[in-house]
Amino acid sequence: MAMYESEHTRFMREWLEKHPEQVEEQKKGRALWWDKPQDVSAQAKLRESAVPVKPYYYDTNH
């Protein structure tokens, strides 16, 4: 059974083969926007301080 490959995926794979310098640019962009160090204690504090949301936000009787 053949695996499906979209036109976009094929285009990107071929383009990156022709422009290998862009792989490094991709990594830089990812590090800039996504790969951030995580502060576990700060995340725990945020979770603990969260206020529970009412089941129906606009219900003023509860």
pLDDT attached to residue 14: 96
Query: Would you state the pLDDT for residue 37?
Result: 86
Query: Is residue 54 pLDDT above 80, yes or no?
Result: no
Higher pLDDT, 55 or 6: 6
Each residue's pLDDT tens digit, 12-50: 999 999 999 999 999 998 888 888 888 999 999 999 999
Tell me what pLDDT residue 11 has.
97
pLDDT for res 1: 59
Q: What secondary structure, in 3-state letters, does the chain show?
A: CCCCCCHHHHHHHHHHHHCCHHHHHHHHHHHHHCCCCCCHHHHHHHHHCCCCCCCCCCCCCC
